Structure 1
Amino acid sequence: MTNPPTSELPVLRKVIRSSTIDLIADQLRNAIYSGSLEPGQSINEVRTAELLVVSRPSLREALQRLISEGVMTHAPGRGVHVRRMRVADIDDVYAVREAIESQAVKLVIRGGRPTSRITRALRELEHAIEENVARTIGDADLSFHHALVACSGSDRLTDLMKVSMVHTRLLSLSDKRGYEVRCDVLDSHRELAEAVTAGDEPRSLAVVARIMAEATSRLHGPDAEGQAVVVRGQDEDAPADDQWLRLRENMP
């Protein structure tokens, strides 16, 4: 009996549903994105496993995944914490964002892919700006960029974008000035949607670069903002009482 070629992959079974580890990681990412788990907050394995009704080994594996994504950190003797972003992280996070979104733009335009999802996301951003609530604007802004990447049809880019969205939110939540967003972004986002829909690749890439530069400038501080118009989060913008409240209250 001869051995199979070394390049031959083993037979893989069809995946019926997401694994428990995937689901736990998604729950934790969503909690961080919503602000329910705050930058610097420690993760008590026992209480978190009880809250999610999962085993501690499964939780531990999910935490390791988030640590590898840069969403959480681990220090010997201090345990696992939600990552607190620093000024040094700003340029890097947005450089990654620009790389992901620029590649997505190329795939959308060169592949002639539908852009209706981008148009819908733009309308949602318009409505959010009318409401003038920081968290609502921030959610709609990131949803617009997620829609842009999703239209590329690349699952890998979309997965990378999901993690980058959490990094972006952590940057805002870690800001010493408090959570704030630009509310004068509509023109640039509308220009990006129009350029992508028209198939104008150079213009689209230029707008993506400008949006990232403006966001980076705002996060670097008020001296760099220029005439940027921002909306700052208020206490009522904080996440509503949810399943994580008990965990926060019980943290040592």
Structure 2
Amino acid sequence: MREAVRPVSIVEAVCAAIRERILTGELEPATVLYEQATADMFGVARPTAKAAIDRLVSGGLLRRSANRPAYVPRLTEEDVHDLYFSRFAIETRAVSFLASSGERPERAEQALREFDSAVRGTSVQGIVSSDIAFHHALVESVGSPRMLRMYDSIIGEAQMCMVLKQTHRLLSSRSIAREHRQIFNAIVAGDADGAQAALERHLVRSERVIRSHVRAADSTGSGTRSVAD
């Protein structure tokens, strides 16, 4: 049986390329992305580069002030706290709903398997991707387009936090896998309180270690650099 493959637009392709460079650290925090330089880098028209940059700004992987070019943000301790505060509000409601409604989020279960595979292969990018996929699948499984849009608006910054967590080995990937499984098992068992408690422990522990790392590194921040440098 043939599988349908969704064509990827040029804008999506440029978005994906920039996203990968940010999440692998090739584009460091404070790097400025000028539209024309970005267009030249990928061999596309300037409007295409602008559209890709705009999407990444909307997704939180880039930031831009009024009348200024976009840049890769350097997350502060306050940023991390606010991000996890927002994630907690959305994700605890999601797992409570799923457990109470007897849902078995199949995409989340698939993400658990992908996470285990990434851990065995020691792939940082695979671990981060499957970590995001697990949490995203929980919210997506609720079936609320508005909740999902709110979550998608912070997912880029969540990825940046997960990259920090993995590249600096702030938490064991195997312990993260166990915590994901505890959340999933509580949902499947219909234990809304247990699912919320497991998720809260998971998020609080991640926030604590990431904030500690950012606080320790905060004094070593450097100035901005251009994507064309």
TM bin (shorter chain): 0.7 to 0.9
Change (3 A) 1:204 1:54: same
Determine which of 81, 88, 113 is the counterpart of 1:91. 81
Determine which of 48, 57, 66 is the counterpart of 1:67. 57
Change (3 A) 1:153 1:181: farther
**Equivalents in 1 of 2:98, 2:107: separation in Å?**
12
Q: CA deviation at 1:119?
A: 1.9
Matches within 5 A, 1:131-210: 131-171=121-161, 179-183=168-172, 184-210=175-201
Q: Which has the higher contact order (CA 8 A, sep 6+)?
A: 2
Runs of 5+ unmatched residues, structure 2 = 1-6, 216-224
Q: CA deviation at 1:195?
A: 0.5
TM-score, normalised to structure 2's length? 0.73
Matches within 5 A, 1:219-230: 219-221=210-212
Say whether the 8 Å CA contact 1:39–1:173 is kept in structure 2. no
Select between 185-194 and 32-41 the one with higher mean Cα deviation: 32-41
**Equivalents in 2 of 1:250, 1:59: separation in Å?**
13
Q: CA deviation at 1:150?
A: 2.3
Say whether the 8 Å CA contact 1:45–1:56 is kept in structure 2. yes
Q: CA deviation at 1:31?
A: 4.7
Select between 55-64 and 192-201 the one with higher mean Cα deviation: 55-64
**Equivalents in 2 of 1:203, 1:81: separation in Å?**
40
Matched, 1:122 2:112: yes
Q: CA deviation at 1:216?
A: 0.7
**Equivalents in 1 of 2:159, 2:192: separation in Å?**
28
> Is the partner of 1:42 in helix, strand or coil?
strand
The code of the aligned residue for 1:99 comes to A
- The structure whose residues are more often helix, as a share, is 2
Look at both structures and tell me which one has the larger radius of gyration over its CA atoms. Answer: 1
- Identical positions, percent: 27
Q: Root-mean-square deviation (CA), in Å?
A: 3.6
Change (3 A) 1:134 1:65: closer
**Equivalents in 2 of 1:250, 1:142: separation in Å?**
26
Q: Deviations over 1:86-131 (max 9, x none)?
A: 1221111111111221222233234433322222221222232333
Instruction: Count how many residue pairs are aligned between Structure 1 and Structure 2.
Output: 212
The code of the aligned residue for 1:139 comes to S
Matched, 1:251 2:228: yes
Runs of 5+ unmatched residues, structure 1 = 1-16, 225-247
Change (3 A) 1:35 1:210: same
Q: CA deviation at 1:156?
A: 3.3
> Is the partner of 2:33 in helix, strand or coil?
coil
Matched, 1:32 2:13: no
